[in-house]
Amino acid sequence: MFSNIYNRLKISKVVVVGDLYVGKTSLIHRFCKDNFDRDYKATIGVDFEIERFEISGIPYNLQIWDTAGQEKFKCIASAYYRGAEVIITVFDLADIQTLDHTKQWLEDALRENEPDSSFIFLVGTKKDLVSDAVCERTELDAIRFANEMQAEYWSVSAKTGENVKEFFSRVAALAFEQSMIKELEKTAGRMAQIGTGSLIKLEDNMMEIPEGNTQVSLSCC
Ligand SMILES: Nc1nc2c(ncn2[C@@H]2O[C@H](COP(=O)(O)OP(=O)(O)OP(=O)(O)O)[C@@H](O)[C@H]2O)c(=O)[nH]1
Ligand SMILES: [Mg+2]
């Protein structure tokens, strides 16, 4: 049942933004490739990875856009902000200034998207570099920022892998649920347009309207 809807859920766009050197690429690589590189190689413009999931047996992809934090690449990177179902704003737990800049990064990303169309996350990276006491202190500020940004807060370490899988699983679950809701809304809209008042029965790949024996495929747009 609903298999045609599921086929169309397919993919959600995730955009990762934040200052240079905060660990955006490392976070993505830890998740998608399960590796960590100590050496810094600045991202030039943008890069992307696709990660495949299965949620309740349904294949689902995240297209994760890794953007450059360096000012000189900002205008290239910002061209890729549009259509983001998820915006991940990253800062470095060991460099508090980078937290201050997250609001500007988010504002720039939101400007390219429809209001209220994206889930927002605030992620503190390099958890392994700070003591528990420093981490707790910084997190108090981070949680305040997250509330103001209407974001969900996470702290992670790409080096140790702490929280990385859990974080992206959460991203995937929310994005998946959102695309499911959008598809069901579209389908409901189409059913309303049919407007025959007939009893509409949902079957595999199609809706069947028993009265006129008319079958409506859900795959049309
Ligand atoms: N100890 C530690 N180092 C990290 C962690 N994440 C990233 N780093 C290091 O921080 C440096 C910068 O990481 P990147 O992932 O390249 O940073 P970026 O945000 O992608 O930088 P730009 O591409 O220039 O915007 C690299 O030397 C990484 O090895 C972490 O969780 N722990
Ligand atoms: Mg990078």
Each residue of 190-210: b (16+ CB within 10 Å) or e? ebeeeeeeeeeeeeeeebebe
Residue 10 confidence (pLDDT): 82
Q: What is the pLDDT of residues 197-213, one digit of tens each?
A: 444 444 343 333 333 33
Give the integer Cα–Cα distance in Å for 168 and 30. Answer: 11
Pocket flag, ligand 1, residue 157 (CB < 6 Å):
yes
Q: Given this model, what pLDDT does residue 2 score?
A: 53
Give, for ligand 1, the residue of 19, 25, 39, 92 to mutate: max count of ligand atoms closer than 8 Å to Cβ.
25
The residue whose CA is least distant from atom 15 of ligand 1 is: 23
| pLDDT score at 5 | 57
pLDDT of residue 24: 98
Q: Is 78 exposed, middle or buried (0-12, 13-18, 19+ CB in 10 A)?
A: middle
User: ipTM of the predicted structure?
Assistant: 0.99
Number of other residues whose CB lies within 10 A of the CB of residue 112:
16
For the chain, the average pLDDT equals 86
**SS3 state at 127:** helix
Which tens digit of pLDDT belongs to each residue from 82-97? 999 999 999 999 999 9
User: DSSP secondary structure string, 196-212?
Assistant: -----EEETTEEEETTT
Residues 6+ apart with CB under 8 A from 33: 49
The pLDDT of residue 56: 81
Report, as an integer, the average pLDDT of 52-67. Answer: 90
Is the CB of 45 inside a 6 Å radius of any atom of ligand 1? Answer: no
Which of 52-61, 105-114, 176-185 is predicted most confidently?
A: 105-114
Q: Residue 8's pLDDT is what?
A: 60
- Give per-residue pLDDT as tens, 152-200: 999 999 999 999 999 999 999 999 998 888 888 888 877 776 665 444 4
What is the CA(79)–ligand 2 centre distance, in A?
Answer: 16
| Residue in the structure block whose two tokens are 């949680």 | 143
Is the distance from the beta carbon of residue 20 to the nearest atom of ligand 1 less than 6 Å?
A: yes
Q: How far is the CA of 23 from the centre of ligand 2 (A)?
A: 7
Report how far ligand 1's centroid is from the alpha carbon of 125 (Å).
Answer: 9
Ligand 2 center–CA 176 separation, angstroms = 26
In angstroms, what CA-CA distances link 49 with 31, 35, 178, 219? Answer: 10, 14, 21, 27
* pLDDT tens digits, 114-167: 999 999 999 999 999 999 999 999 999 999 999 999 999 999 999 999 999 999
